[in-house]
Amino acid sequence: MKDEVTIVVPCKNEESYIYYLLDSLKKQKGMEGIRILIADCSTDNTRRVIENHKEWLNVKIIKGGPVSVARNNGSYLAITPYILFIDADVRFFSNTVIYDTLKQMKEEDLHLMGLNIKCYDKDPRAQLSFSIFNVLNKIMSKWIPFAVGAYFLTRKDRFYEHGKFPCKYPTSEDFHLSRKYDPKKFKIAKHYFGQDSRRFKKMGYLGMSIYLIKNFLFKDNHNYWNNINEKRYWS
């Protein structure tokens, strides 16, 4: 797959998480030679962890920044027809996730693919929240595509055609880009990516739900996005 897909990972202060992503990538089928660009702006020991655990993976650390900037920086260096954006705190539950989604992408001539989310730290409230989100996203995807940025597999030409990740939105940049794609050319694969409950614990379970609902309802309200406090989500 090395001539077909480039993996881009935005990263900032993920020393406690990046090892597990690298370990998950090592176990993926067909990873030999795939270029992994980690767009990093960390101030902790993240880079040391990457250097100590990248082993045979084809990893290159590049300049990062805010999440949209980091992802776009990686995309500029991709020469493959597909780009896969993965967040630094992601883990996988199957060793064929990337192989299967890329295969489906090509066979069905899709422009964008995403995955369902599963909580890997077994927090029951986060597990329920992710499950509800998966159901709602599956229903809404018939009209409004949404590939969560934690696993965002796209054709590179369509990614540039739709303007890349928009830097003007401090959060929900993945949603704003996703909804520009043709719903008929988007699918959510049967696989899952894993994340933990850290943002639920930071923002509160109800607070996180309200935050996401408001982002959706006010998706076209410029005043809302100009005044949003993104530190509640990212810091």
pLDDT digit string, tens, across residues 73-90 = 999 999 999 999 999 999
Average pLDDT over residues 184-208: 86
Say yes or no to pLDDT of 220 above 90.
no
The model's pTM: 0.93
What one-letter code names the amino acid at 201? K
Q: pLDDT-derived band of residue 171, with 50, 70 and 90 as boundaries?
A: confident
Average pLDDT over residues 192-200: 88
Residue ranges of domains in the chain? 5-234
pLDDT at residue 217 in the model: 75
Give the Cβ contact number of residue 183 at 10 Å. 15
CATH number of the domain at 5-234, please?
Answer: 3.90.550.10
Among 46, 120, 110, 38, smallest CA distance to 81 is for 110
As a whole number of angstroms, the distance between CA 33 and CA 26 comes to 11
Q: Which two tokens stand for residue 10?
A: 């935005």
Helix (H, G, I), strand (E, B) or coil at 196: coil
